[in-house]
Chains A and B, each alone.
Chain A
Amino acid sequence: MSCETAFWQRRMVIAAAFLAAVVLGGALFAPLIAPNDPLAVDLTIRLSPPGPGHWLGTDHLGRDVLSRLIWGARASLGSVAAILCLVVLISTAVGCLAGYVGGKADAVLMRICDVFLTFPTFILAMFMVGILGTGMVNVIIAIAMTHWAWYARIIRSLVLSLRNRKYVLAARVTGSSRTRILGRHILPPVSAQLVVLATLDIGHMMLHVAGLSFLGLGVQPPSPEWGVMINDARQYIWEHPRLIMLPGLMIFVSVMAFNLLGDALRDRLDPHVSKGMGA
């Protein structure tokens, strides 16, 4: 890799990290940063252009767009964090069980995975929300349920390759129990890969959450969420394009930032990919 590309890549990563940090900061400190109440309706100032008091203007109900964007980051990242936690928990349990215990457990669990892998995730998630009912919690469950199978497969294959290492046999010879060997020798290397996978998937999950909310299946209208905001702004797309562009821009920027970060992390942590960022 030439010096120049490495330099540009590094710049991209720094920019991505900065943007991701801004989004994350907005999500964490939304109540402190947001200038106004994101739910405060004031029909007298509806659809007002950007100006002092409302830096990015107001929407069709006179709510402050900037505040709604900041609170939207919280809804978006919060649900993604919950989804990833669920996915990692389920898939680690399934992957370890299938990979380490093997035999019948492996066969049964992997067939269940296959079933989930055959459906397109978004359609399956919509179907699940249809069964469970709309709402944030159900969206989280639905998206987690449609994504764990990918992770479980990867974790299983990692566990399979690790369990045949000689140091695992050495640990067994000293009389270590299965759980201890899993915790000490198998999970640490697995978790390194898992971090990369999860970071690469943050953007993807954000799109899912926003997509479902846009369709009215996820976060319900009064609460601020980017997908909901885009949906609200549909009728004003010609008169007030900023109402649809701003949340769109937020989704675009944060998905891109997290994808770039994930790529950089993979380059750093995965020994199979090239030497990594201009180090």
Chain B
Amino acid sequence: MSRELLCVESLRLRAGEGNEQRSLVSDVSFSVHEGRVTTLIGSSGSGKSLSCLAGLGLLPLGVRRAGGRVTLCGRDLDGLSPAAHRQMLGREAALIMQNPMSCFDPLHTIGSHFQETLAAHENGRLDMDRCTEVLARVGFEQPRQMLPLFPFEMSGGMLQRVMIALALLLGARLLVADEPTTDLDVVSQARVLDILDDLCREQGLGILLVTHDLSIVARLAREAYVMHAGRVVEQGEVTAIFESPRHHVTRELLRAHHDLAGFAPVDASCGAKT
């Protein structure tokens, strides 16, 4: 059995104080293993992104974990000091977000973002060789020329790949990808998905993929969790879920997808390869 990178058990998230409390996520459990893509599927507002952020211990202000356990790379987040937690972020786990244009500080160059990531863990010197190496891994042919560019000088697809490169820079084993292909054109989407697929197969990274696009799930993932209104309503192997969905939310999602994208039978060789 491959190593477990992230384990979330009966997670409960709440917002607000006192009588104003709202439950955002309740009783959500999932796990991510090395060399596998695990997906969280669901419509907007079903608690996918929050569950991911909770998995990294980076909840937004006002949202707190009311229950459950999160084990990130074998360590319980509850028992972790803020400094130790910071050390794990970047080194062990990294996050790739949607809408890459807004994920880079417009005042800093790409090289400066790399330097920042290095500085958070090491001496902060910009190690050119390592930067160009990871940039080459995500498909940049002239990586050295990317470093002096500002984020607004690059396209969304390029920035998304830079974000993946940043995630790889410190050798993180767990990639959390929160809708990594939203807002990208189809060519860039395919490219980003190829890279993620490669990382998972070749390098054995564990990927937690959040998406509402079922064709991406069919293409990449092996395990899926379907979320609805803050709960996991169905989970299991992707092929099984797609072939015989048990919960009506899953059936709705599949039907909507087929209406939109046309029916394509799930290719068993695609997702379930190990």
Chain A residues whose C-beta falls within 8 Å of the C-beta of B234 in the assembled complex? none
Q: Is the CB of B97 within 8 A of A175?
A: no
Shortest beta-carbon distance, A135 to chain B, in Å?
42
From A174, A180, A184, residue with most partner B Cβ within 10 Å: A174
Q: A166-B99, A166-B102 are in contact. Are A174 and B94 (CB under 8 A)?
A: yes
Contact status of A177 and B86, CB under 8 A, knowing A170-B95, A171-B116:
yes
A-B contacts at CB below 8 angstroms, number: 68
CB-based contact B103/A174 at 8 Å: no
Determine whether the beta carbon of A180 is less than 8 Å from that of B120.
Answer: yes
**B88 A175 Cβ-Cβ under 8 A:** yes
Q: Does A234 contact B (CB under 8 A)?
A: no
Cα A173 to Cα B121 with chains together (Å): 12
* Residues of chain B at the chain A interface (Cβ within 8 Å): 56, 58, 60-61, 86-91, 93-95, 97, 99, 102-105, 107-108, 116-117, 119-121, 163, 166, 170
Q: Are A169 and B116 closer than 8 Å at their CB atoms?
A: no
**A residues within 8 Å of B by Cβ?**
102, 163-167, 169-177, 180, 184-185, 188-189
Of the residues A165, A166, A176, A189, contact of B120 by C-beta under 8 Å: A176
B58-A170 in contact (CB<8A)? no
In the bound complex, CA of A88 to CA of B77 (Å): 38
* B102 neighbours in A (Cβ, 8 Å): 165-167
Nearest Cβ distance between residue B127 and chain A, in whole angstroms?
A: 15
Which of A169, A171, A175 counts the most B-chain CB atoms under 10 A from its CB? A175
Task: Compute how far the CA of A163 lies from the CA of B105 in the bound complex, rounded to whole angstroms.
Answer: 12
User: A interface, by DSSP: helix, strand, loop or mixed?
Assistant: helix
* Of B121, B163, B170, the contact of A170 (CB 8 Å cutoff): B163
Cα distance, A167 to B151, chains bound together (Å): 11
Distance to closest chain A CB from B123 (angstroms): 14
A170:B86 contact, CB within 8 angstroms = no
Return B48 CB to nearest CB of chain A, in Å: 16
B116: which of A166, A174, A189 is its contact (CB, 8 Å)? A174
Chain A residues with Cβ below 8 Å from B119 are: 176, 180
Chain B residue with Cβ nearest A163: B61
Chain B positions within 8 Å of A171 at CB level: 105, 116
A169 and B90 form a contact (CB under 8 A): no
Residues of chain B lying within 8 A (CB to CB) of residue A176? 86, 116-117, 119-120
A180 CA to B108 CA in the complex, in Å? 14
The 8 residue pairs across chains A and B that have the minimum distance between CB atoms: A175-B90, A175-B89, A173-B95, A175-B120, A174-B90, A174-B117, A167-B105, A176-B120
Please report the C-alpha to C-alpha distance between residue A173 and residue B91 in the assembled complex, in whole angstroms: 10
- Given A173-B94, A174-B166, A175-B91, A167 and B117 touching (CB < 8 A)? no
Q: List 16 A-B contacts (CB under 8 A).
A: A164-B61, A165-B105, A166-B97, A167-B103, A169-B95, A170-B104, A170-B163, A174-B166, A175-B87, A175-B88, A175-B89, A175-B120, A176-B86, A176-B119, A176-B120, A184-B116
Q: Are the CB atoms of B90 and A173 closer together than 8 Å?
A: yes
A171–B119 Cα distance when bound, in Å, is 11
**A8–B163 alpha-carbon span in the complex (Å):** 47
**Across-interface contacts of B93 in A (CB, < 8 A):** 173
Contact, CB under 8 Å: A173 / B58: yes
Partner of A177, one of B104, B120, B166: B120
Complex contact A166–B103 (CB within 8 A): yes
